[in-house]
Chains A and B, each alone.
Chain A
Amino acid sequence: MIKLTGLRKSFGGTEILKDISFTLDRGNVLSIIGPSGSGKSTTLRIITQLERADDGTLEIAGSTLFSSVDGKAVYAKPDEERKIGLKTGLVFQSFNLFPHFSVLRNITEAQRAVLHRTKEEAEEKAISLLRKMGIEDKAKQYPYQLSGGQQQRVSIARALALDPEVLFFDEPTSALDPELTREILKVIRELAEEKMTMAVVTHEMHFARAISDWAIFMDKGVIVEEGAPDELFGNPKEERTRKFIASFED
């Protein structure tokens, strides 16, 4: 589904991603852990086209977004980029709902403007997603009237409404208290059970271990270690990984 090789990215002369490679198979869940500034978020932001890669090759569901030519990432044509963009969805740490739209319209707007679905189709889809998220009764409310956990569920529904082939989460619970965090983790777990392809950047270690099929530990722009979650979390090989995971105990 996702095949990333040799990704490099610098900001103002500082290299923050050095040769990142991984694959994510359809129906699998990948978790990416690591300290702040390790490049986890930037990796997601490059795959979802919020940032441009300097070098590397990325295939998403059979299409090539960029490929490495003479040490430089060469992107697909803008049209193709947009098409590939629709295969990926992203859930932000800070929700980024549209405050001037009702909950319903937050979920229907892109369906109508981008996928050209009819109002009825879009609303039907939105309502069924809200039902799935357990907040069907909030459809007519505005984002500011909802709790953080509810807002994040709306933003997940908004991303799912476009039927992405793979969904990315960029620290989806970092702005939430423990109780609301549980709400969101439950939703993501349910999506995993339905075999939604996902990659999650998170600091929730137990959660990451429980839901993922593969886990990556990043630090200072490189993948320090990767493996099956029970291995990576239960028996890390690298000293750096061990230290990081231990810092979450007690």
Chain B
Amino acid sequence: MQGLIIQMLEGTVTSLKIFFLTLLFSLPLGFVVAKGRMTRIAPVRWIVDLYIQIMRGTPLILQLIFVYFAPFYIFGASYDRFTACIVAFVINYSAYFSEIYRSGLQSIDKGQYEASKVLGFSKAYTFFHIILPQVIKRILPALGNEVITLVKDTALAQTIGVAELFRVAQTASSREFSTVPIFIAGIFYFVMNYIVSRLFVIGERKLDYYR
């Protein structure tokens, strides 16, 4: 039993790596995508829109397989599964985050930009000090949903052979002819998401000082 728990904790570390690396890259990248989606340059907008449609319109599990195996079939070269897994998660989640950012950015009254301009703030100052704080407050609930989904989605990494928590649990389960490891994995995911959702509640409360 102790051995099982240790194996599962190791799997959890892999799951957490996927989780944090995905957030690290896709949270900022989502902004770039959102900007591309809102640009006045039509061809850029179309391409970005198509990308978002594909990411949202096809299963993540399929995207994982594609990202891992496509280079092999096209170039005859294969690469690290973990890297492939991070790439697939990042391009998928950037698309989802970008749509959340876009809704947040578009909900800000244009008067905020005009007041900033008249007061002499630069474009960058306006974005980081006036617009972004208000966007974050508005999108936090939607972002929380997405981040919780990400915790659970990390289980899909096993499709391309990454030994994350769920993979470890399944392997142990078939080895021991028991569903207990799967059940324990469920508790692990639940605890992780409990922490994530508490953090978001704290964040929302912190930003509750204004309307």
Are A98 and B121 within 8 A (Cβ)? Answer: no
A114 to B125, CA, bound (A): 10
Cα–Cα, bound, A209→B130 (Å): 38
Q: Is B134 on the interface with A (CB-CB < 8 A)?
A: yes
Task: Return the contact of B109 from the options A96, A100, A110, A155 (Cβ within 8 A).
Answer: A96
Q: Do A98 and B120 touch across chains, with their CB atoms under 8 A apart?
A: no
Specify which chain B residues have a CB less than 8 angstroms from the CB of A142 in the assembled complex.
209-211
The count of residues in chain A whose C-beta lies closer than 8 Å to any C-beta of chain B is 27
User: Which residues on the A side are within 8 Å of B111 (C-beta)?
Assistant: 92, 94, 96
Chain B residues within 8 Å of chain A by Cβ, number: 19
Kindly state the separation between the CA atoms of A25 and B39 in the bound complex, as whole angstroms. 42
Nearest CB of chain B from residue A247's CB, rounded to whole Å: 29
If A99-B134, A99-B210, A109-B129 touch, whether A92 touches B121 (CB-CB below 8 Å) is no
Hey, which chain B residues are within 8 Å of A143, CB to CB?
Answer: 210
Residue B78 interfacial (CB < 8 Å): no
Q: In the bound complex, do residue B118 and residue A89 qualify as a contact, i.e. CB atoms below 8 Å apart?
A: yes
- The reply to whether B211 and A110 form a contact with Cβ atoms under 8 Å apart is no
CA distance A54 to B24 in the complex (A): 46
B113 to chain A, nearest CB (A): 9
A205 close to B (CB within 8 Å): no
Residues in A lying within 8 Å of B, measured CB to CB: 48-50, 82, 85-86, 88-90, 92, 94, 96-100, 109-110, 113-114, 142-144, 155, 158-159, 162
Give me 19 A-to-B residue pairs in the complex whose CB atoms sit less than 8 angstroms apart, sorted by A's number: A49-B117, A49-B118, A85-B120, A86-B120, A90-B118, A92-B115, A96-B112, A97-B115, A98-B112, A98-B115, A109-B119, A109-B129, A113-B125, A114-B119, A114-B120, A142-B210, A142-B211, A158-B119, A162-B120
Since A50-B117, A92-B111, A92-B115 are in contact, a sample of 14 more A-B pairs with Cβ atoms closer than 8 Å, ordered by chain A residue number, is A49-B117, A50-B114, A85-B117, A88-B118, A94-B111, A96-B111, A98-B115, A98-B130, A114-B119, A142-B209, A142-B210, A144-B210, A159-B119, A162-B120
